[in-house]
Amino acid sequence: MTTTPRRTIRIPDAEWDAGLAKAQAQGQTLTDVLRRLLASYLVSNPDELSEYGTEYRATPKDADSSLTVEGITGRFEDVRRLYPPKRWYLEERTVSPYKAASRRAA
């Protein structure tokens, strides 16, 4: 059982139902979607203190995609300078801190 405390938020039924349907269609829970969105919000607001970070993946435009570079960290400006848009597709993701592992019932 999870140790995360329950939270209460107000969301109109139409938005909740649409979000729930889309999350289920993608094999996710709405809780996972909301956590990811909150993490993204925290990272996008430099005034907020956050334990979350951003990780980049660069894929060459004109070469074999097996040359993709993953796990790139640092300021966006520095990463973009190393992987210029003329030659690289750049993707980002939010990375959360580690938490205690537990076994889940299958």
Which has the higher per-residue pLDDT, 12 or 94? 12
- Please state the rounded mean pLDDT for residues 4-11: 87
> CA–CA separation, 7 vs 90, rounded Å?
35
Contact 23, 32 (CB under 8 A): yes
Whole-angstrom distance, CA of residue 64 vs CA of residue 60: 7
Backbone angles phi, psi at 54, to 5 degrees: -115, 135
Give 106 or 61, the one with higher predicted confidence: 61
Give dist(CA 40, CA 50) in Å, integer. Answer: 10
For residue 42, give both structure tokens: 């925290």
Q: Say whether pTM exceeds 0.95.
A: no
Q: What is the pLDDT of residue 49?
A: 46
Amino acid 92 reads E
Note the pLDDT tens digit of each residue in 35-88: 877 776 666 655 544 567 889 999 999 877 789 999 898 888 999 999 999 999
Q: Determine the pLDDT at residue 81.
A: 92
